[in-house]
């Protein structure tokens, strides 16, 4: 029997139990091969709507559809056996009402098999989070820098730079936690504020550009792989330069094709000898 067949997938309660203990290791994934690579090492895989920018080259996440999230959620589920998987609710698929959010979240969980959904927003989304969790849909919150609100925020800006922002993000965090979220992503929040929120909440906080004291960390997989050669956010650490390796491979391939050194006979099929 394949050893992978006996692997037990991590659950939402497993993630919640990590509060104040071993950090939650999380990364985004959008494809089966990448999900397979990280499955043995991460606790929580996020199928993020960042795929709109990372995979499709869109300027923001706002054009991502529910169908896109389902397709990539299915791909990631096929590539994982151990990690808990959650899927972002895309922009405008849950803001209208708690009922709309339920329909979107239920469809995503039914069609992907993922364990949970993630949505952005603070106090204004607390009613929706409570509506979902009371109906059996695990929800991870997301406050601070919220990519789906980029138009309202006037860009990707750090949260918590003044007393008003500090009070706002703290209130938002408590509202989402009190509404029943099992965890909350703190993105682009001044470090001392993220630390305070982590200490105050009873659910795990997962930082991205927040604080090392958060109960876990998440980054976009293509950022840590170094696939992109351009802009790198301050909070990103590049653990590899895969983009450079890929570019060099393409360069060498193009050179060999043009010089007719590829394909050589070892890569060609020959007639069978009679």
Catalytic residue among 187, 191, 247, 266: 187
Cα end-to-end span (Å), the chain: 41
Would you mind telling me the total number of residues written for the chain in this entry? Answer: 274
Q: How far apart are CA 140 and CA 206, in angstroms?
A: 10
Half-sphere exposure of 103 (CA within 13 A, CB side): 8
Is residue 192 helix, strand or coil? helix
Name the packing angle between helices 191-200 and 163-178 (round to 10°). 30
118 is in an annotated binding site: yes
168 is in an annotated binding site: no
Is residue 85 helix, strand or coil? strand
Q: How far apart are CA 12 and CA 35, in angstroms?
A: 18
Q: Which residue has the tokens 């990690």?
A: 83
- Annotation marks residue 123 as catalytic: no
43 is in an annotated binding site: no
49 is in an annotated binding site: yes
Q: How far apart are CA 101 and CA 96, in angstroms?
A: 8
Q: Which residues are catalytic?
A: 187
Annotated binding site: 49-50, 88, 118, 120
Binding-site members for Mg(2+) are 49, 88, 120
Annotated binding site for 3-methyl-2-oxobutanoate: 49-50, 88, 118
């Amino acid at each position: 029997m394949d050893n992978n067949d006996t692997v037990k997938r991590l659950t939402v309660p497993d993630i919640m139990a990590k509060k104040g203990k071993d950090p939650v290791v999380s990364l985004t994934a959008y494809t089966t091969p990448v999900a397979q690579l990280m499955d043995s090492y991460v606790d929580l895989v996020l199928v993020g709507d960042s795929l709109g920018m990372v995979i499709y080259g869109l300027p923001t996440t706002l054009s991502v559809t529910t169908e896109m999230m389902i397709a990539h959620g299915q791909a990631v589920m096929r590539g994982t056996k151990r990690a808990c998987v959650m899927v972002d609710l895309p922009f405008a698929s849950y803001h209208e009402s708690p009922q709309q959010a339920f329909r979107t979240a239920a469809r995503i969980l039914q069609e992907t098999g993922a364990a949970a959904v993630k949505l952005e927003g603070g106090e204004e989304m607390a009613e929706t989070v409570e509506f979902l969790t009371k109906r059996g849909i695990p929800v991870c919150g997301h406050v601070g820098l919220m990519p789906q609100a980029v138009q309202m925020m006037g860009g990707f800006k750090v949260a918590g730079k003044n007393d008003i922002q500090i009070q706002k993000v703290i209130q938002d965090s408590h509202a989402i936690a009190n509404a029943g979220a099992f965890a909350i992503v703190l993105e682009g929040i001044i470090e001392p504020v993220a630390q305070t929120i982590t200490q105050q909440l009873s659910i795990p906080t997962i930082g991205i550009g927040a604080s090392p004291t958060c109960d876990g960390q998440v980054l976009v997989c293509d950022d840590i792989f170094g696939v992109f050669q351009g802009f790198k956010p301050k909070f990103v650490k590049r653990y590899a330069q895969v983009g450079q390796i890929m570019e060099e491979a393409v360069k060498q391939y193009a050179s060999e094709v043009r010089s007719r050194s590829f394909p050589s006979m070892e890569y060609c099929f020959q007639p069978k000898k009679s």
